[in-house]
Amino acid sequence: MQLLQPVIQTAGLGLSAGHFGFDVSGPAGLVVAVEGSTDFTDWIPLQTSALVNGQAHFTDPAAALAPQRFYRAHFVYGTSPQPVLQVLGATLPSSAQFGFYVNALPGQQVTIQASTNLVDWTAVGTYTLLTRGAGGAGAHCGIHESQGGFCL
């Protein structure tokens, strides 16, 4: 039995405006997860995307923050993977005090919760993520102390 693996395309590999990215290919409709590591030991999930027409684009906006980063891709089978939270930089609206990007599968539902003590959590919103190009689905979210949460 041969194990099916996604292919990282070197043609689209590169750094642009501080964001490193590449294309991943494989059978259309499968879900691919991209993970990153600075030491080949500890891997963290960075993006999960459905392959639309056999392709997905991966972008790592935090690539410039690490002196070196390694990437690997694998197919995800079974239940939907956990959404990935990416903290945003200076692209936040001026009224937001904290912002992030939620990356998940198209149609996946996420609930954003907030806490002031890491014990008691309050839901600030539940969102169904919509298709957003070949990279999967996502939402640009923020938390503001007087207005609660929002996702765009």
| Secondary-structure breakdown of the chain: helix, strand, coil percentages, each rounded to the nearest 5 | 0, 55, 45
Strands 70-76 and 84-87: unpaired
Contact 129, 104 (CB under 8 A): yes
Rg (CA), the chain: 16
Task: Specify the pLDDT at position 2.
Answer: 60
Domain extent listing, the chain = 7-76, 84-151
pTM surpassing 0.75? Answer: no
Task: Specify the pLDDT at position 108.
Answer: 66
CA distance 112 to 100: 11
Task: Specify the pLDDT at position 134.
Answer: 35
Task: Specify the pLDDT at position 115.
Answer: 80
pLDDT digits (tens, 9 = 90+) for 51-95: 888 888 888 888 888 888 899 998 887 656 667 676 655 455 555
Question: Which of the listed ranges 10-14, 23-27, 96-100, 135-139 does the model predict with the highest average pLDDT?
Answer: 23-27
